[in-house]
Structure formats: structure tokens, C-alpha cells
């Protein structure tokens, strides 16, 4: 009787999901972030295991999904949970689809979109969401569907890069500040009241 009770109270079989999550984080390429990309810290999503990791490390939590400025950005535009930020934030700057607008690049070059989505699938799996993990894997391991997704992502990359290049050109030409909106649009009319803006000065 005592031995059965002890087994029930023992650690669950299999690896600790939080330990496995940290291994995924540690496997990512390093990037020297200059902290200029806070204007992209909007509309994130994460899994329950990532939410739990944040709560354990910081004593506070974040919703699984959020639209708008991230609540963990400090008044200086810095990430307040940088060491335990979720995977989607860590992938920023590591792929061409999410290349940093300010020139920060990962050591060893960009990860492929397929690599990133398979990591996202693995994190869903750690959270117990095997259905989402299977959907992602099936998609990115199918050559035809993966190729179509790559084409669409590349077109999106090109549009975003062109919009940002135009903004920088205008700033450098006029020596003025340019409004960089979170959606990557091409507005040239700054709105100083907006909380989703960043100012780039060409001088």
C-alpha cells in the first residue's frame, strides 16, 4: 500500500515540459539585439506552457493572446521579461519572414520558415495541444503546401522591406522624423499621440 502511494506521489513519467521548452529556447541562433525593435512588439500569441514559464520566473502572467502594445514593454521600450519571453518573440529577427528592420541578424544566417514552424509545433506539443502540432507538421512536411507558404511569406517579406526602405529614404532625404506603424504601413504623416509609433530621424 505504501509503495503504491509513493508511486502516485512521484514525478510523472517523461521529460519535464518546462525543461524541454528551455532546450528549444537554447537551441535558437543568437542575435545581438540593439533594442530598437519595440515598435514590433504587438499582437502576440503563446501556448499555456510558455505562459506558465513566465509566471514561474516572474510571478506575473500574460494572456495567451493579446492585440496591441505588449504589457511587458517598459517605459524605455525594453522587454520586461526578455529572459523568459515566448517563442514567437524569440523568433523575431531569426527568419527572413520576421527580419529585424534595424539590421540585427542572427549568427550563422537566417533559420528557414520550416524550421521555425516545426519548433512552434513542438511547443504546442509540450502544452498538450497535439492537434495544432499535427496540423503544423502536416503542412510544413508536405512539399507542395510548404512551397506555397514559402512563396507567400517571401512576398510578405518583400512588401515589408520595401515599406521600411521608403520610410528611411524619406527621413534621410528630408531630415525629418517618419512614423513607423506596427503594421508595416507606409504612412508619412506622424501621429505623436499614437502609442504604436516609433520615430526614426534621418539626421
> Which pLDDT score is estimated for 171?
58
Indicate the domain borders of the chain: 14-112
Answer whether 0.75 is exceeded by the pTM.
no
**Whole-angstrom distance, CA of residue 143 vs CA of residue 91:** 23
Q: What is the pLDDT of residues 21-43, one digit of tens each?
A: 999 999 999 998 888 888 888 87
**Whole-angstrom distance, CA of residue 183 vs CA of residue 45:** 16
Q: Which residues lie closer than 8 Å to 163 by C-beta, 6 or more apart?
A: 184, 185, 186
The answer to whether residue 190 scores a pLDDT higher than 90 is no
C-alpha cell at 184: 508595416
> Which pLDDT score is estimated for 176?
52
Q: What is the pLDDT of residues 45-88, one digit of tens each?
A: 999 999 999 999 999 888 999 888 898 998 888 899 999 999 99
The answer to whether residue 185 scores a pLDDT higher than 50 is no
The answer to whether residue 166 scores a pLDDT higher than 50 is yes
> Which pLDDT score is estimated for 195?
34
Q: What percent of the chain has pLDDT over 90?
A: 37
C-alpha cell at 47: 501556448
Distances from the Cα of 138 to the Cαs of 45, 122, 144, 153, 154, in angstroms? Answer: 21, 13, 11, 18, 21
For 103-111, what is the mean pLDDT? Answer: 90
**Whole-angstrom distance, CA of residue 42 vs CA of residue 62:** 13
The answer to whether residue 99 scores a pLDDT higher than 70 is yes
Which of 129, 149, 130, 152 lies closest to 141, judged by CA? 149
Amino acid at each position: 500500500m505504501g509503495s503504491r502511494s509513493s508511486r502516485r506521489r512521484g514525478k510523472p513519467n517523461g521529460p519535464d515540459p518546462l525543461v524541454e521548452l528551455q532546450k528549444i529556447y537554447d537551441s535558437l541562433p543568437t542575435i545581438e539585439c540593439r533594442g530598437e525593435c519595440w515598435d514590433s512588439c504587438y499582437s502576440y500569441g503563446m501556448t499555456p506552457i510558455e505562459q506558465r514559464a513566465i509566471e514561474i520566473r516572474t510571478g506575473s502572467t500574460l494572456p495567451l493572446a493579446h492585440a496591441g502594445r505588449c504589457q511587458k514593454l517598459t517605459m524605455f521600450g525594453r522587454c520586461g521579461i526578455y529572459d523568459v519571453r515566448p517563442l514567437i518573440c524569440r523568433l523575431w529577427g531569426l527568419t527572413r519572414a520576421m527580419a529585424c528592420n534595424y539590421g540585427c541578424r542572427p549568427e550563422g544566417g537566417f533559420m528557414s520558415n520550416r524550421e521555425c514552424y516545426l519548433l512552434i509545433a513542438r511547443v504546442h506539443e509540450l502544452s498538450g495541444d497535439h492537434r495544432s502540432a499535427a496540423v503544423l507538421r502536416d503542412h510544413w512536411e508536405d512539399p507542395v503546401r510548404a512551397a506555397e507558404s514559402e512563396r507567400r511569406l517571401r512576398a510578405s517579406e518583400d512588401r515589408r522591406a520595401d515599406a521600411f526602405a521608403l520610410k528611411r529614404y524619406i527621413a534621410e532625404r528630408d531630415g525629418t522624423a517618419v512614423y513607423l506603424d506596427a503594421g508595416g504601413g507606409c504612412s508619412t504623416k506622424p501621429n505623436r499621440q499614437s502609442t504604436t509609433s516609433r520615430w526614426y530621424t534621418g539626421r
